Every structure is written in C-alpha cells, then in structure tokens.
Amino acid sequence: MSDTFLTPEEVEELSGIRVGRGGKTREQLQIEWLRTSGIPFWTNARGRPIIARSAIEGGARADEQPRPKWQPKVLSLR
C-alpha cells in the first residue's frame, strides 16, 4: 500500500470502529462516522472507505487555489 492513502488499521484508529454491529459492517459504520465528521473519502468497489492522507494531515496542495466567495449578482451591481 502506498503512503497516499490511510491503511485499514489507520481508518480503524481514526474512527474508533473496529467491528460491525447492529446489522452493519465495520465499513458501513466507518463511512457513517466519516460523513458525520466531515472527512472526505471515497468508497472503493469492496465498499471500503478510502481516505487520502492529505485530508488528515492537512496542508493545501499546490494545485488548489482558494475559491472566491459566492455573491449574488444583485449585490455586485453596486
């Protein structure tokens, strides 16, 4: 596995979810936790959450530019 993504063990540590319960798999519970925590991730073909290490470690990438704040046209006519 590369250093680009968190390992399954790191996802377990991050989410605190090691086993499934309540009729849901470990991965389903981890995905729910990631969504409520606002951590960006992808789901692979096996249903496992894939998290980019940069999403956790922080730091903007060189190709990311800050987006201008949206403003309605009515306010920009002044």
Distance CA 36, CA 33 (A): 5
The pLDDT, as a whole number, for residue 69 is: 86
Per-residue pLDDT at 3 exceeds 70? yes
Q: Pinpoint the alpha helices (H) of the chain.
A: 8-15, 26-37, 53-57, 73-76
Sign of CA dihedral 57, 58, 61, 64: positive
Is the pLDDT at 76 greater than 80? The verdict is: no
pLDDT, tens digit, for every residue of 7-62? 999 999 999 999 999 999 999 999 999 999 999 999 999 999 999 999 988 765 56
Give CA–CA dist 37/57, Å, rounded.
Answer: 15
Q: What is the pLDDT of residue 60?
A: 57
Q: Could you tell me the residue ranges of all domains in the chain?
A: 1-59
